[in-house]
Amino acid sequence: MILERLTLKGKTAIVSGAGGGGIGTTTCLALAEAGANIVAVDIFQDRLQDTEQRVKALGRECLGVIADLTKRSDIQNAVAQGVKKFGAIHCVANVAGGMRPDERGELENFPEDKFDHVVAMNLKYIYMMNQAVAKHMIEKAIPGTMASVASVSGVGGAAYHAPYGAAKAGLIAITKSMAVEWGVYGIRVNALAPGAVKTPRAVAGNTVDMDTRAKTTIPIGRACEPDEIAAGLLFLLSPLASAISGHTLVVDGGATSKFAFGGPNDKHASRSNIREAPRP
């Protein structure tokens, strides 16, 4: 009974940020293994081709759509193409997001244009994607599911990427509002907040090995793998989570469960890299 509910057989899922070999790609593969056909959306053609080939190797259909997710017209076109190809869209997985290397910095000097871009890529496009698919689901009386990748940065504050944290906190909030408004139509809306994840982009951009750092910061002693995030998204989108809506599932290896400063004998507690602020 339980395994029978962990299925998306006969469904179509649209996945944003579907290429690149990270969370988006593994999410496409997880949903395909569960039986879904995939509308794979990305801005890079070569990344899409790789995802399409891997999904089709699992015996599922995959439609690749090039789109700039900052443009409403591109999002609407992706949804329309998916509906034309498969007849309906039943699931949405919003994975695209993150920050460029030049979008980290001290908030007091942070440029407005970069702030706007971070918000556009981590909050606004999700509002536009879910809105476009919700209209389709409501019109066709489809009881659908939606799940978006948030971040632990939207749960707690972090230095030097405040716009990202603000956008992810906004995503968590708007997820609850969508769940409340669209629940009457049988649409469930959730979010998933990862911690450190060993995506190809994250590994390439880190000067310190992620697992080495994780040994002192994450209770399970390692960073998460992309397929572990994809597994959480599959759960939220599947009938196995049929009573879950408006929720943010934290998948961070227990990192946010830890109090910031332990006792004097806590091997995980360290003040060596903390700069004390002056008293006001």
- Residues marked as catalytic: 164
Q: In what order do the strands lie in the sheet with 37-42?
A: 62-66, 37-42, 12-16, 91-94, 145-149, 188-194, 248-251
Q: Determine how many CB atoms are found less than 10 A away from the CB of residue 277.
A: 6
Residues 95-109 as b/e (b if ≥16 CB within 10 A, e otherwise) read bbbbbeeebbeeeee
The torsion angles phi and psi of 180, rounded to 5 degrees, stand at: -70, -45
φ, ψ (nearest 5 deg) of residue 31: -65, -35
Strand, helix or coil for residue 93: strand
Contact 40, 65 (CB under 8 A): yes
User: CA 39: distance to chain centroid?
Assistant: 16
Q: What is the C-alpha separation between 216 and 178, in angstroms, rounded?
A: 37
- The answer to whether 34 touches 6, Cβ cutoff 8 Å, is yes
Contacts of residue 75, defined as CB under 8 A and 6 or more positions apart, other chains included, come to 67, 69, 125, 128, 129, 132
CA 51 from chain center: how many Å?
A: 17
